[in-house]
Structure 1
Amino acid sequence: MAVPTTTAAVRDADGFRAPALTGLADLLDHQVRTRPRARALVVGGDRVELSYRALRSLADDVAGALATTGLRQGDAVALLSANTAEFVVGLLGAARAGLVVAPIDPALPRSQLTARLDALGARAVITGPTVSDAQPTGTPAWPLHVDISRAGTATATLGTGALPVRRIRGAAAELSAQDALVLFTAGTTDRAKMVPLTHGNVAASVRGICATYELGPGDATVAVMPFFHGHGLLAALLSSLASGGCVLLPERGRFSAGTFWDDVRAVAATWFTAVPTIHEILLDRSARDYPGPRAAPLKFVRSCSAPLNPATQRALERTFGAPLLSAYGITEATHQVTSEPLPQHGFLKHGTVGRSTGAKLRVVDREGRSCPSGTEGEVWVYGPTVTRGYLTGPAETARSFSDGWFRTGDLGSLDEDGYLFLTGRIKNLINRGGEKISPEHVEDILAGCPGVVEAAVFALPDPVYGQRVGAAVVVREGEGIGADQILRYCRHRLSAFEVPDRLDLVPALPHTAKGGLDRKALEATYSSRTRTD
């Protein structure tokens, strides 16, 4: 049975209404009108609270300061900060000034940081507390400091300076006042691309996320994922603020497994979202750290940005006493594309990333024809969250976009209920003598082996077959499991040509800032290594 497209409208379930907004600039307006004193942020180790009214006042102060610098609507500014009050105030302040904001990974070395700013053509970079001492060169850096007292008063100070002679350069020449953000893709297999997102894209994404999880004023979360990527920015921060919820920003603006559950209790968090790597860490530490469902009564937990092993998903649900919802997000579609629904609104199908949360989906073959239900092909996405293309990348835009459809490069299939199964990346396929092998599929099997914490699969060059299958595996401390036992487990669950030809036991695997496997670093490290077990 052919399935040409699968789509879903923003849910209106049990009277739930997604927040009304047009983009970043008015994200807080409804809450300021109706609940001005409600807490928007809980900040740092001291856990001082910031109300919606105070947060918008700080953003307006920053917008006013930016208005005196000569910047014009549609100009690009970068934002360099950890997950702190400075990031939130800088983002919203620049948006209210009509500027286009590009959050950048603060852990990047100076050379990469400077290269991204030059490629963007940022007229200035707003800096808050970062996780690195690296500072950009060639772009004016304006430090932002937010001070919040326990009495509830707060001030924002932006140290602006004179801008150089106005010159629009780089990607900034393609931006306008309709644009809200420029996000950089992860860039693990290619150089990072610049993705422009309009205020309309942002509003559609936030409404879809809020509707999927029915987020509202009674909800709170802990910021686990970094805000310079869509996962942390759209799903945790912006959706919480738009819906009237509260976000706790951890001490030093970054996730700490040692303080996470204290943070959950401090803000009475009802949910959180993270990558599988962090879920694994919390699961491994749960016996000594997890305070129990009474102290942390979570409504649900969300996983995104990398595949989550079904066995881990079930273990997390048993441990935390809450449904674990897998989601699928891509930068080019303003993060969320699909998600497993809340249990009261549909089935949880472990091994899937759920169904559409607002976009149209197609799974197509090599000729661009829709695949029948259950047949693997490339996932295409269309809808109000999809970007118009890449900045300064016409050739890549032409390859990846067609009549508004984004060709994701992800392999998957849709079942008859519209649930999406992801099976890998086209670029990652291993060609072993003509047999095409998905490393993600082999990783999923390896991760299901008792005692295995994480696994990564990569191509090994081979003079006969072209490529063979290599694997690097992290095992749980004290398990005593060896490579032979893991391979024996695989032989009962994989085709013979999929079983790793070489398996290394390693202490840790490389990850990107988003939390996914860094496949480029993985291949550079392990593809030529002699087997050790």
Structure 2
Amino acid sequence: MAVPAAASVRDANRYRPLEVTGLVDLLDRQVRERPYARALVVTGERVPLSYRVLAGLADDVAARLADAGLRPGDAVGLIGTNTAEFVVGLLGAARARLVAAPLDPSLPEPQLIARLEALGARAVLLDPSASDAAPPVAAWPLRVDVSRAGTAAVALEPGTCAAPHVRHPANELSSRDALVLFTAGTTARAKMVPLTHANVAASLQNICATYELGPGDATVAVMPFFHGHGLFAALLASLASGGCVLLPERGRFSAGTFWDDMRAVTATWFTAVPAIHEILLERSEREYPGGQALKFMRSCSAPLNTATQRALERTFGAPLLSAYGMTESSHQATSEPLPQRGELRQGSVGRPTGVEVRVVDRSGRSCPVGVEGEVWVQGPTVARGYLDDGEESAHTFVDGWLHTGDLGVLDAEGYLSLTGRIKNLINRGGEKISPEHVEDILAGCPGVAEAAVFPMPDPVYGQRVGAAVVVREGDGVGREEILRYCRDRLAAFEVPDRLELVPGLPYTAKGGLDRKAVVARYGA
């Protein structure tokens, strides 16, 4: 699908290979070549901050952290939303050769403390605007004061380092490490993934090359920066390629202001999870202003059903590219290409981007084309393992291969289609059922907005299939109509034994369906 664009925009946006080795020098090329170009647009007044200003703020923070006694390789917690404070804290820590660990500010205090202790964090940087309550942990408040003229200053008064004797997990870190990201668990036991500067650089190279990002591109930060999707794809890839990122007011996505933000920054693309794409599509008749010349849209972190993908493309006039990745692979592993660079294939998450992907059987042998197996990933973006969890590392990272736990198939041209997750499979009397497949069928039913499929205990079959379905507002589709639609498209054993119409579904902070919450709510 072609998207109209001015020749001048195309020239300014011509992709150039990156010159970054990690987070440390992420801004250097832009500061050298385009110091006064927009890097961020911040606050409710949408004030632009240049690359020169952003680098100066990061250097200021780096100096203060070093003066406080922090040394290269020390772990630092970073609590904040998508604000200038988060970005400056992250880049400042990187320039001081510290290892930044972004944390979700909405986590309960016991979980925050447990994660910081497990990390062995020596300090915590806190964006005070991330919470209306008192700081949940002993932290160093970080504030960035921005003027309407685009100047800015840092307010940060470090205290005494919290952990003079570094705990064991932090001993596994060094100045080669850039980040520790927590997997999208809803408990304090979420796994810790250390990513080196080399992992980061390889990931950004892959993302920018896939979408040909350059100085003429701009986007709005939709996904939270404390997870890989928002951090790598929206923030870091944009800054590495010389583009611009608008940070929404109060640092959180708002459907009500999204298109105004997109227009204000002349955005050329955005990335989001399917749930947010669904929200934008549902509200488009009332809120989409039209005339937004998007180069592409991107979807990642959860399956997007084909019917929604095509509706988004028709409504917003741009191709929607599905991508696939994990925290353990520094976010992106595969993506659909830009239309002029390859085909868009129904149900596919594209081809490998800078990594090798295999689909293997239970014996670890590569499956033939079109045969389902577990997806394995190998390459420069793959983490070395988990911190302080040798047993899980040995199970997941084997001979350089990341065993993803995802099921999929490869076609003859190397396009990957995901079919489910091994641990999510429903066993109905020996028949293995992918809830993701059933959800995709349900979502294609006219009038259905969202669906979640879950196992129900059964004394005879072991498990049966349950479904919770959200119907679009104003549509009169009912339970029996939805089940008839399923019977025409699913095997008899895949058709939900129980189907409930519900007002909404629970999601994780990362934007994926919270399957544990679904089972707890509807699976009894």
Structure 1 residues not aligned, in runs of 5+: 1-13, 529-533
User: Conserved in 2, the CA contact under 8 Å of 1:108 and 1:134?
Assistant: no
Identify the residue that residue 434 of structure 1 maps to in structure 2.
430
User: Conserved in 2, the CA contact under 8 Å of 1:222 and 1:250?
Assistant: yes
Aligned residue runs from structure 1 range 25-174, under 5 A: 25-128=24-127, 129-131=129-131, 133=133, 135-137=135-137, 140-164=138-162, 166-174=164-172
Instruction: Supply the AA of the counterpart residue of 1:384.
Output: P
Which of residues 398, 403, 420 is equivalent to 1:402? 398
Identify the residue that residue 200 of structure 1 maps to in structure 2.
198
Gap change, CA 1:162 and 1:191, over 3 Å in 2: closer
Identify the residue that residue 418 of structure 1 maps to in structure 2.
414
Aligned residue runs from structure 1 range 36-435, under 5 A: 36-128=35-127, 129-131=129-131, 133=133, 135-137=135-137, 140-164=138-162, 166-187=164-185, 191-292=189-290, 294=291, 296-435=292-431
| Number of matched pairs | 511
Q: C-alpha separation between the residues in 1 aligned to 2:160 and 2:380? A: 38
Give 3-state SS (helix, strand or coil) of 1:487's partner: helix
Q: C-alpha separation between the residues in 2 aligned to 1:189 and 1:437? A: 27
Q: C-alpha separation between the residues in 2 aligned to 1:148 and 1:126? A: 19
Q: Per-residue deviation at 1:124?
A: 1.0
Give 3-state SS (helix, strand or coil) of 1:258's partner: helix
Instruction: Supply the AA of the counterpart residue of 2:17.
Output: A
2:469 is equivalent to residue 469 of structure 1: no
Q: Per-residue deviation at 1:419?
A: 0.4
Instruction: Supply the AA of the counterpart residue of 2:427.
Output: N
Structure 2 residues not aligned, in runs of 5+: 1-12
User: Conserved in 2, the CA contact under 8 Å of 1:447 and 1:454?
Assistant: yes
Identify the residue that residue 451 of structure 1 maps to in structure 2.
447
1:371-429: CA deviations, max 9, x gaps? 00000000000000000000111000111111100000000000001100000000000
Which of residues 464, 478, 486 is equivalent to 1:490? 486
User: Conserved in 2, the CA contact under 8 Å of 1:118 and 1:170?
Assistant: no
Q: Per-residue deviation at 1:472?
A: 0.4
Across the aligned residues of Structure 1 and Structure 2, the Cα RMSD in angstroms comes to: 1.3
Aligned residue runs from structure 1 range 491-506, under 5 A: 491-506=487-502
Q: Per-residue deviation at 1:72?
A: 0.9
Gap change, CA 1:262 and 1:15, over 3 Å in 2: closer
TM-score using structure 2 length:
0.96
User: Conserved in 2, the CA contact under 8 Å of 1:18 and 1:208?
Assistant: no
Q: Per-residue deviation at 1:24?
A: 0.2
TM-score using structure 1 length:
0.94
Identify the residue that residue 508 of structure 1 maps to in structure 2.
504
Q: Per-residue deviation at 1:44?
A: 2.0
Q: C-alpha separation between the residues in 1 aligned to 2:173 and 2:183? A: 18
Q: Per-residue deviation at 1:135?
A: 3.1
Instruction: Supply the AA of the counterpart residue of 2:57.
Output: L
Q: C-alpha separation between the residues in 2 aligned to 1:362 and 1:190? A: 32
1:200-237: CA deviations, max 9, x gaps? 00000001000000000000000000000000000000
User: Conserved in 2, the CA contact under 8 Å of 1:188 and 1:519?
Assistant: no
Gap change, CA 1:315 and 1:189, over 3 Å in 2: farther
Q: C-alpha separation between the residues in 1 aligned to 2:14 and 2:35? A: 23
Q: Per-residue deviation at 1:15?
A: 7.3
1:416-469: CA deviations, max 9, x gaps? 011000000000000000000000000000000000000000000000000000
Q: Per-residue deviation at 1:164?
A: 4.2
> Percent identity, aligned pairs only?
74
Q: Per-residue deviation at 1:351?
A: 0.5
Give 3-state SS (helix, strand or coil) of 2:376's partner: strand
1:36-86: CA deviations, max 9, x gaps? 000100002110110000000000000010011111100000100110000
Instruction: Supply the AA of the counterpart residue of 2:56.
Output: S
Bigger mean CA deviation after superposition, 147-156 or 232-241: 147-156
Instruction: Supply the AA of the counterpart residue of 1:59.
Output: A
User: Conserved in 2, the CA contact under 8 Å of 1:110 and 1:134?
Assistant: no
Gap change, CA 1:362 and 1:190, over 3 Å in 2: farther
Q: Per-residue deviation at 1:134?
A: 6.2
Q: C-alpha separation between the residues in 2 aligned to 1:209 and 1:410? A: 21
Give 3-state SS (helix, strand or coil) of 1:504's partner: strand
Q: Per-residue deviation at 1:136?
A: 3.5
Identify the residue that residue 9 of structure 1 maps to in structure 2.
none
